[in-house]
Amino acid sequence: MKVVNAEFKHKKGVIHIEGTAPYFINSLRRIMIADLPKLAVDDVIIYDNTSALFDEIISHRLGLIPIPTDLELLIFRDECSCKGKGCPNCTVRYTLSKEGAGVVYSGDLQPAEKSWAIKEDKIPIVELFNDQRLILEVEAVLGRGKTQAKWQAVQAPGYKFMPTINFDKKKINEVKEFVKTLEDGLLTLKGEKLEILDIDKISVLEFYLHKNNVDFIEIKRDNTNIIFSFETDGALSAEDALINSLKILEEKYADFGKLLDKLK
């Protein structure tokens, strides 16, 4: 297996991998969805709420706010030496106090320590009118997506097979004429090789082939040459999400190997 290219733009990651298999990429995808830990609000204490929304609705919205997560500093509450009481090793606390007309945003959550300040700070929670107010305290703890969706750090991880485009060399003139009818940059002919510049537009090319009943161009997909892409909610960077997911997958393979050894 070889990583040809990897691009990370804060919350989004795109990785080109050669010499792999769909089962491996799908295992990584499932780890990201179900097993990758992240922080999320789990306990809410509302001291005063005179807004138009019920306490339960506000609590639900708080649970969906991406909390910046450092997996090297935190452990799961049920594994902590505090025995679930909630200490700095397993719990991050925030307070919120706002009164008067205006929108309450995620950035209004004030952390006990500045290092845990909310980065996605423009997520609306509730709008206050006149002299309405909202005063509360929350606790965020580590969890996994398989327990509850609020702990799912990665959204829409997916993969696609790299396409190869072949054509009948005897119909080179027809190929040239067909390429001219396409939108600029969709398909290029370089010598005796057809290339698509943006594989995200492969479905557009397939549409044109079907529409024009083109039988001298064929698209094949290589299931060992894969583009894997994903996006986080901001709790983890794309690079951190990938690295930690791979660590979890490696541990699962090791555990599975031990179980196999016991069967021998």
pLDDT of the residue at 264: 73
**pLDDT level of residue 198 (50, 70, 90 thresholds):** confident
- C-alpha distances (whole Å) from 167 to each of 70, 114, 156, 238 are 51, 60, 34, 38
Structure tokens at 13: 């990651």
For the stretch 57-92, pLDDT in tens is 999 999 999 999 999 999 999 999 998 899 999 999
pTM assigned to the model: 0.86
For the stretch 9-42, pLDDT in tens is 989 999 999 999 999 999 999 999 999 999 999 9
> Taking 90 as the threshold, does the pLDDT of residue 186 lie above it?
no
Alpha-carbon distance of 235 to 119, in angstroms, equals 8
DSSP, collapsed to helix, strand or coil, labels residue 261 as: helix
User: Among 21-35, 113-127, 207-221, where is mean pLDDT lowest?
Assistant: 207-221
Task: Give CATH superfamily name and number for 2-34+156-229.
Answer: RNA polymerase, RBP11-like subunit (3.30.1360.10)
Q: Where are the domains of the chain?
A: 2-34+156-229, 38-150
Task: Give CATH superfamily name and number for 38-150.
Answer: DNA-directed RNA polymerase, insert domain (2.170.120.12)
Angle at 117 between CA 113 and CA 121, to 5 degrees: 160
Structure tokens at 83: 């025995």
> Taking 80 as the threshold, does the pLDDT of residue 185 lie above it?
no
